Amino acid sequence: MVSIILASLFVITIILIYIYLKRDYSPSSDDLPGVKPHIFFGNLINSGIVSKASTFREVMLDYQHRFGDKFQFWFGSHRYFNLLCSNGIIMLTGARWKRHIRVLLPMFKRTKIIGHLETIVECADRFIDQNLHSDQIHRDLISCCQSFTINVIGFIGFDYDFDIHVNLSIKKAFQDFIFYAKFLIIASWIPRWLKKIYLKYDSKYQQAYRLIHELAEKLVEEEQNNRENEGPKNLIALLVSSLNEQANDEHTSSGLTRSEIFDEILVMILAAYETTSAAIAWFIFFVSKHPQIQQRMKDELREHHLLMTDDLRGKPPATSDNLTSLIYCECVTKEVLRLAPIAGLIIRRATCDTNTDDVKIHRGQTIFIPLQNIHTDTRYWHHADPRQFIPERFLAEDQNHHPLTMIPFGGGHRACIGQELAWLELKTIIVRMMQRNITFEDTSENTGGYDERIACFPKNLAVHVRFDRP
């Protein structure tokens, strides 16, 4: 009798869950056009994302072509990802976000970042000397680009040499963490409580979490042991000086707790590992297809007496004024970020019911802003085909493009806090590679495509590297 009752309750529960989800996914008069979602899986399967037949960027462009500028895309019944670093600034809202931003923002202002230019140049030289070999085909440049960006954040953020002090197991932990981040995004249809249980008992994730946590604890402990009386010089010093276990979201409270500091370190390391490195990889891919662009960059460097030559001993000076004067190199940097933005989507969540452009938006809904759609829209980009890599567009009519038609770092007060660093990193290493007379040549294996992780990398990047004689 008891088993019959339990079986009946189970069946009733399943039916109620199905009815709830069916109702949740049923069309309503407020819905935007789009493909009918599946229960649990939303549009992840019928768009080809789960099978990897398509990427988010390709799907967003396809949906815009089919349904116009405003459409709906369903990730599943549970759309939010904050299990890996719930205390990181990118996951926070309201008073808690304001408390974190007050701590972090001072270290990411341009006046602070520009002071690290010499360090970024040194990291760029290390990247070139260790990874680029003349007259060879390079197929592993993505991992090399990741090493460069993580070295930059290591030195300027933590005064730490990741190449020397971080072993292969920790670097593997970074990769595993990124894998789980992507998994949680794709598996948004799985209930949060079930994903939490899965992560708790997944040995691979727990090993990665433990290694990264130990690294963060080591960075904090070393900073505490080496603190001087002067003000904070880098991110880790700033974080340690803000340590306050009683910190809360009251207006009178300030600082960060130890667990919050750990998550901020985690976000900074993973962002360095995954983001700007993608832009560098895309630069190498694009210019390998356009040798005339590399030549024009070198011509500009020569005009400013910054190209390395036999009669120029030592290293040409790298200053912010030099970088600013290199107009064409800046156009190339912009074109990389336009055509291959670091993030494929900007995500915002509605905090109240509203009506925007005749679209009803309900509190709690997630708004996607697909950057590839905006950055390649022929209505806003007029110089040649916006789907092509043409830096000259920023010297022609597109130099005065609407500011919201190119937002690789987002916009508003929730724009990427590290955008000044990302921009300086990207332009510096682009200039440095050209400055040292490197030429990237196309190969038959260099077919591109999209490898979508947290950031999007060229799927097949294989270039021949040549060091030109001055």
Q: What is the reported pLDDT for 269? A: 82
Q: What is the reported pLDDT for 354? A: 86
For 43-467, which CATH class? Answer: mainly alpha
Give how far the C-alpha of residue 439 lies from the chain's centroid of Cα atoms, to the nearest Å. 27
CB-CB contact of 217 with 261 (8 Å): no
Q: Is the dihedral of CA 379, 385, 59, 34 positive or negative?
A: positive
CB-CB contact of 236 with 265 (8 Å): yes
Choose among 460, 468, 466: nearest CA to 444.
Answer: 460
0.85 cut: is pTM over it?
yes
Q: How far is Cα 122 from Cα 144, in angstroms, rounded to an integer?
A: 15
Residue 416 marked in a binding site: yes
Q: How far is Cα 150 from Cα 163, in angstroms, rounded to an integer?
A: 9
Name the phi and psi angles at 352, rounded to 5: -160, 165
In three-state form (DSSP H/G/I as H, E/B as E, the rest C), the secondary structure along the chain is: CHHHHHHHHHHHHHHHHHHHHHHHHCCCCCCCCCCCCECCCECCCCCCCCCCCCCHHHHHHHHHHHHCCCCCCCCCCCCCCCCCCCCCHHHCCHHHHHHHHHHHHHHHCHHHHHHHHHHHHHHHHHHHHHHCCCCEEECCHHHHHHHHHHHHHHHHHHCCCHHHHCCHHHHHHHHHHHHHHHHHHHCCCCCHHHHHHHHHHCHHHHHHHHHHHHHHHHHHHHHHHCCCCCCCCCHHHHHHHCECCCCCCCCCCCCECHHHHHHHHHHHHHHHHHCHHHHHHHHHHHHHHCHHHHHHHHHHHHHCCCCCCCCCCCCCCCCHHHHHHCHHHHHHHHHHHHHCCCCCEEEEECCCCEEECCEEECCCCEEEEEHHHHHCCCCCCCCCCCCCCCHHHHHCHHHHCCHHHCCCCCCHHHCCCCHHHHHHHHHHHHHHHHHCCEEEECCCCCCEEEEECCCEEEEECCEEEEECCC
CB-CB contact of 107 with 115 (8 Å): no
Choose among 205, 239, 226: nearest CA to 100.
Answer: 239
Q: What is the reported pLDDT for 80? A: 43
Q: How far is Cα 131 from Cα 147, in angstroms, rounded to an integer?
A: 10
Letter for the amino acid at 108?
F
Structure tokens at 223: 């900073």
- In tens digits, the chain (470 residues) has pLDDT values of 667 776 777 777 766 666 655 555 555 656 788 888 887 778 888 899 888 888 888 999 999 999 999 998 887 654 444 567 778 888 888 888 888 898 888 888 888 888 899 999 999 999 999 999 999 999 999 999 999 998 999 898 888 888 888 778 888 888 888 888 878 777 776 777 788 888 888 899 999 889 988 888 888 888 888 766 555 678 888 888 888 888 777 666 788 888 899 888 888 888 878 889 999 999 999 999 999 999 999 999 999 999 886 444 455 666 788 888 999 999 999 999 999 887 888 888 888 888 888 888 888 788 888 999 999 999 999 988 999 999 999 999 899 999 999 999 988 888 888 899 999 999 999 999 999 999 999 999 999 898 888 888 999 999 999 998 76
Q: What is the reported pLDDT for 20? A: 54
Q: What is the reported pLDDT for 78? A: 46
Letter for the amino acid at 30?
D
Q: What is the reported pLDDT for 469? A: 75
CB-CB contact of 32 with 64 (8 Å): no
| Ramachandran class of 42: left when φ > 0, alpha when ψ lies in -120 to 50, beta otherwise | left
Structure tokens at 170: 């920790």
